[in-house]
């Protein structure tokens, strides 16, 4: 499984690099034939495309749905800031698409760690973040929509189960039942063991379906989709943290003994320099970190590649209209292919996150083997 | 670098939202769903077991039925055999009875004929006797018409009587 995933991820990144080098090479080829003004234009375009992609997969304070002519259709989300003893709440409309500031706060455009985030200037004129920024951003809003959707879907499915007791599944229930059974039997039961798996099952199911729904909704290019929820490192980090806390809390004696005094290895690896304990303790933390990064990187990469292919149409369209149309056929084809790939990735990544969580729980409660 | 800079706001809201999702689904959705699934699996298992048992029962029943059928057939054969025997008996008896009856009737008819014959014979005897007397009377009347003959006859009768 792990091996397959690595191969799969490599393929995704390979396509990604080919796409980009192809796009940029073509631009360079164009430059040689053209005058310097056109060259500058092309470079600027290239930069803008990169910014556009980054903008699409990072967070923002408003949800831009579409632009028709001069008019932007945007959902203005509330900004909630705590700074110097004051709670400040206002609509992101006040920023006027990042052109205006409100009470000293504005959206940073400077390249760096704070780009795209609300900042204010300190006494030295440097951009600093407010003390606390818990604004309902695009990602937060999408998280809430996804959470609501997951809750509604499964409450209705639960209702179907209690109303149609012992009957064959129907509708949404029959669509989700195979997945629920798959998580129960092939993920939870086989990783944790048939004795304890029921305790962890609700968490694993919630985790899986939250990630899966978020992944799927993230692929949909228009509202309420399009937000890069599971491609946000904070989101995956929180879920990884839940898994980490549950693993740590459920750890039995055998689990901790195995970390601090690993059995079956030579003593000199444990003393005088506690090499193995250090490695094991690092392992405790790397597990959730790997969970966090894997999901985040996969989803962000997927979004980036699809956006890259779509952008290719506009890059070539700028060079010549005919080329743009020509490339659009290839680009749309590739985008469709990647969208389908993303559907698969949406499932696989949700599955991998859940499976690894289950494996960690299984490790934490495993009884010592008798040799 | 904003891509790998986790925002505190998102961490806060995600923790809150995810905890709510875990709580609501953990309390209201998963127990019902998992219970429903388990119950259905059990009921399916029960149904399968029941079907298997029924099949076995059916097999036994079939065997029983076959046995019963065999017995019934045998019984039918016995009954038929007995019936045939009874029929033959009845026919034989009837034949016997009929022949004895016939002989009886013939016997009685013969007796009647005999009786009738006797009666007829007696009748004929009486008639002949009457005829004889009448003829004798007529003959006597004819012979005794003339007084000489009457005298002769009486004498002869007297003579005969004297002789006795």
Q: Which residue has the higher pLDDT, B17 or A102?
A: B17
C-alpha angle with apex B120: B119 to B125, nearest 5 degrees?
A: 100
- CA separation for the pair A178, A187 (Å, rounded): 13
The pLDDT tens digits of the residues spanning A57-86 come to 788 888 887 777 777 788 888 888 888 888
Check if B12 contacts A (Cβ < 8 Å). yes
Q: Which residue has the higher pLDDT, B129 or A64?
A: B129
* From A135, A181, A238, residue closest to B15, measured CB to CB: A238
pLDDT of A31: 42
pLDDT(B39) > 50 = yes
The pLDDT tens digits of the residues spanning B47-88 come to 999 999 999 999 999 999 999 999 999 999 999 999 999 999
- For residue B90, the Cα-to-chain-centroid distance in whole angstroms is 14
Q: B37: nearest CA in chain A?
A: A161
pLDDT(A1) > 70 = no
Residue among B4, B1, B11 nearest A113 (CA)? B1
The pLDDT tens digits of the residues spanning A153-166 come to 999 999 888 888 77
A71-76 and A62-68 as β-strands: parallel, antiparallel, unpaired? antiparallel
Are B14 and A300 inside 8 Å of each other by CB?
A: no
Q: Which residue has the higher pLDDT, A227 or A182?
A: A182
- CA separation for the pair A302, A223 (Å, rounded): 18
- CA separation for the pair A17, A25 (Å, rounded): 12
Q: Which residue has the higher pLDDT, A364 or A95?
A: A364
pLDDT confidence band for A193 (50 / 70 / 90): confident
pLDDT of A366: 86
Per the prediction, chain B carries an average pLDDT of 89
Check if B11 contacts A (Cβ < 8 Å). yes
Interfacial A residues in 49-88 facing B (CB < 8 Å): 54, 57-59, 80
Task: State what percent of residues in chain B have pLDDT above 90.
Answer: 65
- CA separation for the pair B2, B25 (Å, rounded): 32
pLDDT(A24) > 50 = no
The answer to whether A121 and A71 are in contact (CB under 8 A) is: no
* From B2, B12, B33, residue closest to A158, measured CB to CB: B33
The whole-number average pLDDT for the span A130-140 is: 86
Which residues of chain A are within 8 Å of residue B37 when distances are taken between CB atoms? 161, 177, 180-181, 184
For residue B82, give how far its alpha carbon lies from the nearest alpha carbon of chain A (Å): 59
pLDDT confidence band for A96 (50 / 70 / 90): confident
pLDDT of A4: 57
Q: What is the dihedral of CA B41, B43, B46, B51, to 10 degrees?
A: -100
Which residues of chain A are within 8 Å of residue B43 when distances are taken between CB atoms? 166
C-alpha angle with apex A14: A9 to A18, nearest 5 degrees?
A: 155
Range name among A296-300, B24-28, B139-143 with the lowest pLDDT average: B139-143
For residue A271, give how far its alpha carbon lies from the nearest alpha carbon of chain B (Å): 38
The pLDDT tens digits of the residues spanning B91-125 come to 999 999 999 999 999 999 999 999 999 999 999 99
- CA separation for the pair A24, A27 (Å, rounded): 5
Interfacial A residues in 185-214 facing B (CB < 8 Å): 198, 201-203, 205-206, 210
Task: State what percent of residues in chain B have pLDDT above 70.
Answer: 98
Check if B41 contacts A (Cβ < 8 Å). no
Q: Which residue has the higher pLDDT, A119 or B130?
A: B130
ipTM of the complex: 0.80
Are B17 and A300 inside 8 Å of each other by CB?
A: no
Check if A147 contacts B (Cβ < 8 Å). yes
Task: State what percent of residues in chain A have pLDDT above 90.
Answer: 28
For residue B53, give how far its alpha carbon lies from the nearest alpha carbon of chain A (Å): 21
- CA separation for the pair A29, A21 (Å, rounded): 12
Range name among A162-171, A183-192, B88-97 with the lowest pLDDT average: A162-171
Check if B59 contacts A (Cβ < 8 Å). no
């Amino acid at each position: 499984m792990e091996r397959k995933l690595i191969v799969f991820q490599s393929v995704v990144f390979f396509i990604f690099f080919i796409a980009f080098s192809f796009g940029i090479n073509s631009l360079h080829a164009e430059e040689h034939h053209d005058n310097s003004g056109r060259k500058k234009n092309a470079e600027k375009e290239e930069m803008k495309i990169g910014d556009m992609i980054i903008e699409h997969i990072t967070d923002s304070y408003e949800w831009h749905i579409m632009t028709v002519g001069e008019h932007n259709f945007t959902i203005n989300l509330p900004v909630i800031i705590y700074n110097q003893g004051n709670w400040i709440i206002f609509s992101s409309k006040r920023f006027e698409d990042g052109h205006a500031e409100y009470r000293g706060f504005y959206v940073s455009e400077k390249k760096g760690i704070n780009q795209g985030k609300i900042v204010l200037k300190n006494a030295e004129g440097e951009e600093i973040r407010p003390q606390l920024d818990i604004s309902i951003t695009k990602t937060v809003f999408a998280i809430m929509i996804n959470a609501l959707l997951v809750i509604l879907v499964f409450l209705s499915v639960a209702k179907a189960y209690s109303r149609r007791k012992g009957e064959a599944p129907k509708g949404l229930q029959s669509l989700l039942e195979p997945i629920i059974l798959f998580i129960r039997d092939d993920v939870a039961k086989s990783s944790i063991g048939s004795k304890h798996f029921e305790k962890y099952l609700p968490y694993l199911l919630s985790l899986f379906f939250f990630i899966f729904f978020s992944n799927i909704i993230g692929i949909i290019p228009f509202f309420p989709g399009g937000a890069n929820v599971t491609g946000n490192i904070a989101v995956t980090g929180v879920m990884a943290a839940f898994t980490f806390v549950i693993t740590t809390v459920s750890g039995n004696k055998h689990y901790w003994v195995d970390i601090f005094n690993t059995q079956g290895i030579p003593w000199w690896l444990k003393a005088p320099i506690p090499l193995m304990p250090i490695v094991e303790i690092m392992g405790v933390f790397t597990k959730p970190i790997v969970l966090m990064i894997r999901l985040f990187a996969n989803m962000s990469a997927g979004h980036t590649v699809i956006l890259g292919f779509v952008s290719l149409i506009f890059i070539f369209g700028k060079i010549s209209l005919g080329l743009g149309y020509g490339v659009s056929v290839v680009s749309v084809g590739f985008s469709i292919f990647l969208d389908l790939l993303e559907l698969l990735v949406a499932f696989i990544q949700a599955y991998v996150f859940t499976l690894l969580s289950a494996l960690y729980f299984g490790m934490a409660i495993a009884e010592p083997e008798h040799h | 670098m904003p891509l790998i800079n986790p925002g505190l706001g998102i961490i806060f809201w995600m923790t809150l939202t995810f905890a709510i999702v875990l709580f609501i689904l953990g309390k209201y959705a998963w127990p019902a769903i998992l219970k429903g699934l388990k119950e259905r699996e059990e009921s399916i298992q029960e149904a399968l077991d029941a079907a298997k048992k029924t099949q076995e029962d059916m097999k036994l029943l079939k065997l029983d039925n076959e046995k019963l059928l065999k017995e019934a057939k045998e019984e039918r054969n016995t009954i038929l055999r007995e019936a045939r025997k009874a029929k033959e008996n009845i026919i034989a008896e009837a034949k016997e009875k009929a022949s004895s009856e016939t002989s009886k009737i013939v016997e009685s008819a013969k007796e009647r004929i005999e009786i009738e014959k006797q009666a007829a014979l007696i009748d004929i005897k009486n008639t002949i006797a009457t005829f004889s007397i009448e003829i004798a009377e007529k003959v006597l009347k004819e012979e005794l018409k003339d007084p000489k003959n009457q005298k002769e006859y009486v004498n002869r009768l007297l003579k005969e009587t004297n002789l006795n």
